[in-house]
Chain A
Amino acid sequence: MLNTFIGDAGHLSVIVAFVAATVAAYSYFMAARGRALGDSDVAWLRLGRGAFIVHGVAVMAVIGCLFGIIHGHRYEYYYAWSHSSNHLPVYYMISCFWEGQEGSFLLWIFWHVLLGFAIMRWNKLWEAPVMAVFAGVQLFLTSMILGVVTGGVKIGSSPFILLRDFLVDLPVFKLNPNFVPEDGTGLNALLQNYWMVIHPPTLFLGFALTLVPFAFAIAGLWKGELTRWVKPALQWSLWGGLVLGVGIVMGAYWAYETLNFGGYWNWDPVENAVYIPWLVLVAGIHALVLWDKRRTALRTSFVLVVATFLLILYATFLTRSGVLGNASVHSFTDLGLSGQLMIYLGAFVVLAIGLLVYRWKSIPISEKELTTYNPELWVFVGATVLCLGAFQVLVTTSIPVYNSFLGFIGIKSNLALPADQIAHYSKIQLWMGVGVALLSGLAQLMWWQRNDKSTVINAVGTPLVLTLLGSALVILLLRYNGHEIQPAYIALLTAGLFGVLANISTIAQLILRRVKLSGGAVAHLGIALMLLGVLGSAGYSNIVSKNVSGLVYSKEFPEDLNRDNVLLWRNDSAPMGAYDVSYTGQYIDVPGVPGYVNKDLLFRTADEYKALARGDIKRADKVYYKAGDTVEILPENTYYRVEYKDRETGEAFTLYPRAQVNEEMGGLLASPDIKKFFNHDIYSHISSVPDPSKEKDWSEVKESQLTVGDTIYLNDYFAVFRGVEPAQQTAGLGLAKGDLAIQADMMVFGEKKQYHVHPVFVVRNKMIGRVPDEIEDLGLRISLNTVDPTAGKFTFGVSTTQKDYIILKAVEKPFINLLWSGTLLMALGFGLALRNGIRRKQPAPTAEHVPSRVASRQARPEAVA
């Protein structure tokens, strides 16, 4: 049944949200206009508040309607049809909510609404000018999902469009305009992962959080409050840095767990688009801290806070305008919004840069000369290094933009992204890492004390000596184990170790001096550990599955080709690196049964979500299903059981890399499985399997006549014909009354185990039917062809097929745990900095009355980020 009400309600809510945002932006602007901070026009302020609340309610209504459409499987709507399907569990419905471009805009809008409410509640003083910026941003964002055509111009793309209005050319709608498809096309298989349920909202919250310090900076510039905005902006920036940083690493972890490119970072433009603003945001946090504590770098703070938000807008433009079409595998396609996105970006660039230029001369600067013994200098240099790192990623990621721009002004350009992106980015990012690790260590040591030559040498001495010893030891160990180490890696190793030890030393001293634990030192320790983790896992990742078959096709090809995959026959063991590996069958998910269930145990039925149990399904002593029971299954994913056995230690483990049969996505999508050790991961994924959509090629049937007790040879195996029994209600046979059915009991001896085979012979209405039985493990199919009861002779037909195989790639990733644990420490550090900031109740003396050279002579250190 076609239901247009819910879509109309949703569309109406979008329009209300858009209009309310416009009213709120104008009212807040009028409330703050021409007045000092905090002295807002009450009538306009009230109107602005009311309008923003209406906007918020309307946004919730939009979300409610869209989720209702997805949850109710209303496939008359394009959004539900193209992102959801009948069998999708509820938690993945949440992910299909933001799989589409419109939904992800909605998610972003949603977080802005919540943050706007938080500002209205906790930052009353700044409410009018900050909320004017907020509502202005909301105006642009809601326009993206407006879906209104005025004067031939399409504004926004509505998520509430009906399928028939989207696929107008489809013949079915000409015959029946009220046609509703039975099922949706489903969620992109790679997104069916729990990280994809929580990672996009986290990222979008991070995106949204960058608006807050930006809005404060704009409000400060506007109202001429050039210093007071720093405190609230710093708090909010810390939240942004934390959430965005965690979101990025979550995405990396999802990629590591789910995608099969064999790592956690691929320098895809979409990844870069969040990495760039995060680096600039973190640099901005440092600048804000410098002003907050030491009264320097205020202009830098303005520039970086503004740049962060503008870069978020630029990232949005990059990933959503279709400009990356040829360069990225997972950017959105163009929805015809690129013009709108350009206006959005342009409006805020002009506004922010105009205001900055207008106020530039009046932004206070420090008169203090930065000397070598000022930690401020080193913090500043560190922030600069971060910005340079961001700059490189930005310059390269924008290559497709230069192409389109040149094409736009009539110059044909064929510039492409670097062919080896990893090498290109690494060669600069590696040195950025070196700089960050060294400077974070140095600046942390110096931050907490008064510095001159001797105190600096004292503070740096111990960590430095330990670092040199440590990295010498590591280099020797690497050499001893036959690994090479390049000079750049030596630099990163040494810098990373120094970063770790210097920050540990700082933390230890702070604890000894009974000072509040510094979030900064903890976060920096985390960053240094992450750098070491990246060095180990990326620099020394080792492909275990090197193919040593030694086949040479042509001498023209270079020797250094990556022949990184091995073919494993089912139940055959093959040597792979230090392991003996064997592939032992296909498994499947059965809800309610722990682990995976062997496909051999399940007889598939016409309904792909149901199967019959061929034997008891049990775990330990508990029987979950008895033979003959109907079992609910999740058929999308096949898990390939791969056993690893270390030849030296005898240690064994089993991995289940997954592959998803997905027609829409063109066949098979693979996801890895990972065995974690404390110092390395073994990462395995399926590169290929025999095409599941192709029928198997069976050999011609070979017949042989047997009597009970006979033994025959079938290829490499032998089988014993043990007897004949009446066939019971065997799985899937569908016997009717009066049917005569017998089955042979045959025992086949494989390499590893024996298999019971029961080919069935049925007589119904004098017609003969045969149900052959198949042993997938051995690639054998046996049928009971004829029965001669008088002579006691039975004729069996045997045909064979190619044995099942998988092509596997396995990689060893050393010290990857340092990366993940470093992330946790980094997050903890951000959290500590936030807590210390909230605890500090007394606001610092307002900056107008503070001479520029003050805080650097503080006797007692204070906790900072």
Chain B
Amino acid sequence: MKKAHILVIAVIAVAIGIIMSAAGDASVYVSFREARERASEGNLTKVHVVGRLPRDGQKNILGLEYNPVLDPNYFAFTLVDTNRIAQRVIYFNPKPQDFDKSEQVVITGAMRKDIFVADKILLKCPSKYVEKDIKGATAAVN
């Protein structure tokens, strides 16, 4: 066998290994129901959950719990997933500053007993990229 062939086989082997590792490490988007099922089966691999923050009539977010004076590394909130299941989430880091403004939240983490422990929060604030309102636009019309 020529060296070139050995090289080709080695490359193919590594490439397959890389694909396997990507498949093995890939996470999934799930609902809270599925996250709970996974946890009850003892599967603690991290998952992604997409959800919204519940708000009251005044657009205030319900159920935020953050008291930096007590502990700056403890932030708890409730997230409602796409199936309208609400779940308490804890994030052991300071509250992200633009959390209040975000419409959609993607969290990664896993359920521990009846609480979801998030280790990453990805906020989607649509206004970050496409502006939709003009401040004081109506006031400026004479």
Residues of A in contact with B (beta carbons under 8 Å apart): 81-82, 167, 170-172, 175-176, 179, 181-182, 185, 188, 326, 329, 332-333, 369-371, 377, 380-381, 384, 388, 391-392, 395-396, 399, 414-420, 423-424, 427-428, 547, 549, 551, 553, 556-558, 561-567, 664-670, 687-688, 802, 805, 807
* A414, B122: Cα distance in complex, Å: 17
| 26 CB-based A-B contacts, threshold 8 Å | A326-B124, A333-B129, A384-B7, A388-B15, A395-B18, A396-B26, A416-B26, A417-B27, A418-B22, A418-B27, A419-B45, A420-B46, A423-B25, A427-B21, A547-B71, A557-B117, A562-B92, A564-B93, A565-B72, A567-B72, A665-B98, A666-B98, A668-B97, A670-B97, A687-B94, A688-B97
Q: Is B101 an interface residue (CB 8 A)?
A: yes
Shortest Cβ distance from residue A857 to the other chain B in the assembled complex, whole angstroms: 20
B105-142 interface mask toward A, CB cutoff 8 Å, 1 = contact, 0 = none?
01011001101010110101101111111101110110
CA distance A419 to B70 in the complex (A): 29
A333-B129, A667-B100, A688-B72 given; A370·B4 CB < 8 A: yes
Chain A contacts for B95, CB-based, 8 A: 688
A371 to chain B, nearest CB (A): 8
- A416 interface neighbour in B14, B48, B128, Cβ under 8 Å: B48
Q: Which residue of B has the minimal Cβ distance to A423?
A: B25
Are B97 and A669 within 8 A (Cβ)?
yes
Q: Are B30 and A666 in contact (CB under 8 A)?
A: no
Output the nearest chain A residue to B120 by Cβ-Cβ distance: A419
A181 to chain B, nearest CB (A): 5
A392 partner, pick from B18, B30, B90, beta carbons under 8 A: B18
- The answer on a CB contact under 8 Å between B26 and A391 is no
Known contacts A428-B18, A556-B113, A687-B94: does B122 contact A329 (CB below 8 Å)?
yes
Assuming the A-B contacts A424-B25, A667-B100, A807-B72, are A170 and B137 also in contact, with contact meaning beta carbons closer than 8 angstroms in the complex? yes
- Contact partners of A415 in chain B: CB under 8 A: 26-29
Residues on A with beta carbons closer than 8 Å to the beta carbon of B74: 551, 553
Q: Which residue of B lies closest to A182 (CB)?
A: B140
Quote the shortest CB–CB distance from B74 to chain A (angstroms). Answer: 7
Q: Does B102 sit at the interface, judged by CB under 8 A?
A: yes
A665 CA / B96 CA spacing, docked (Å)? 12
4 cross-chain pairs, A with B, having the tightest CB-CB distances, nearest first? A666-B98, A419-B46, A666-B101, A418-B25
Given contacts A419-B120, A666-B125, A687-B72, contact A563 B92 (CB under 8 A): yes
Could you tell me the distance between the alpha carbons of A666 and B109 in the complex, rounded to whole angstroms? 24
The answer on a CB contact under 8 Å between A562 and B93 is yes
User: B115 to A556, Cβ gap below 8 A?
Assistant: yes
Known: A326-B50, A381-B7, A553-B74. A565 touches B25 (CB 8 A): no
**A391 & B18 in contact (Cβ 8 Å cutoff):** yes
A670 CA / B94 CA spacing, docked (Å): 13
Given known pairs A388-B18, A557-B117, the reply for A419 and B108 (CB within 8 Å) is yes
Which residues of chain B are within 8 angstroms of A428 by Cβ–Cβ distance? 18, 21
- Tell me whether A414 and B15 are in contact in the complex, defined as CB-CB below 8 angstroms, given that A428-B21, A688-B68, A807-B68 are known contacts: no
Instruction: List the B residue with the shortest CB-CB distance to A421.
Output: B25
Decide if A565 touches B26 in the complex (CB within 8 Å). Answer: no
A342 vs B44: C-alpha distance when bound (angstroms) = 38
For the complex, give the distance between the alpha carbons of A369 and B6 in Å: 13
Given contacts A179-B140, A418-B26, contact A549 B71 (CB under 8 A): yes
**Chain B residues whose C-beta falls within 8 Å of the C-beta of A418 in the assembled complex:** 22, 25-27
B69 to chain A, nearest CB (A): 7
B1 on the interface (CB 8 Å rule)?
A: no
The answer for the CA separation of A445 and B21 in the assembled complex, in Å, is: 34
| A332–B7 CA distance with the chains assembled, in angstroms | 40
Minimal beta-carbon separation of B88 from chain A (angstroms): 12
A381–B3 Cα gap in the complex (Å)?
Answer: 11
Residues of B within 8 A of A81 (CB): 131
Are B120 and A567 interface neighbours, CB within 8 A?
A: no
Q: Which one of A370, A424, A557, A667 lies within 8 Å of B97 (CB-CB)? A: A667
Q: Judging by beta carbons under 8 Å apart, are A172 and B138 in contact?
A: yes
Could you say which residues of chain A place their CB within 8 Å of the CB of B117?
Answer: 557
Minimum CB distance partner of B130 in chain A = A333
Alpha-carbon distance A424/B45, docked complex (angstroms): 13
CB-contacts of B57-103 with A (<8 A): 68-74, 90, 92-95, 97-102
With A172-B137, A392-B22, A687-B94 given, is the CB distance from A664 to B127 under 8 Å? yes
Q: Which of A371, A399, A805 contacts B68 (CB 8 A)?
A: A805
B22 touches A176 (CB 8 A): no
A205 shortest CB reach to chain B, Å: 25
Closest CB in chain A relative to B42 CB, distance in Å:
15
Q: Does B47 contact A (CB under 8 A)?
A: yes
Contact A181 B46 (CB under 8 A): no
How far is B132's CA from A185's CA once the two chains are assembled, in angstroms?
Answer: 11
Residues of chain B contacted by A391 (CB below 8 angstroms)? 15, 18
Instruction: Decide: A170 and B134 in contact? CB cutoff 8 A.
Output: yes
Q: CA separation between A428 and B27, bound complex, in Å?
A: 18
Output the residue of B14, B22, B71, B100 with the most chain A CB within 10 A: B22
| Chain B positions within 8 Å of A188 at CB level | 128
A167 to B132, CA, bound (A): 7
A665–B129 alpha-carbon span in the complex (Å): 10
> B9 within 8 Å of A by Cβ?
no
Smallest beta-carbon distance A720→chain B, Å:
30
Query: Nearest CB to that of B136 among chain A residues?
Result: A182
Contacts of A414 in B (CB 8 A): 28-30
- Please determine whether B68 and A561 come into contact, CB atoms closer than 8 angstroms: no
Query: What separation, in Å, do the CA atoms of A176 and B141 have in the docked complex?
Result: 7
A399 touches B26 (CB 8 A): yes
Assess whether B70 is in contact with A175, with CB atoms less than 8 Å apart.
no
Residues of A within 8 A of B22 (CB): 392, 395-396, 399, 418, 424
Inside 8 A of A802's CB, which chain B residues have their CB? 69
Closest Cβ of chain A to B61, distance in Å, is 12
Q: Chain B residues near A424: list those with CB within 8 A.
A: 21-22, 25
Q: B134 touching A172 by the CB < 8 A rule?
A: yes
* Chain A residues, CB < 8 A from B127: 664, 666
**In the complex, which residues of chain B have a beta carbon less than 8 angstroms from the beta carbon of A666?**
97-102, 125, 127-128
B138 surroundings in chain A (CB, below 8 A):
171-172
Q: Is the CB of A395 within 8 A of B137?
A: no
Which residue from A416, A551, A664 sits with its C-beta under 8 Å from B29? Answer: A416
| Cα A138 to Cα B137 with chains together (Å) | 39
B11, B69, B112, B115: the one within 8 Å of A567 (CB): B69
B2 at the interface (CB under 8 A from A): yes
Given contacts A371-B3, A419-B108, A547-B73, 4 further A-B contacts (CB under 8 A): A172-B134, A551-B71, A564-B93, A688-B94
Residues of B within 8 A of A420 (CB): 25, 46
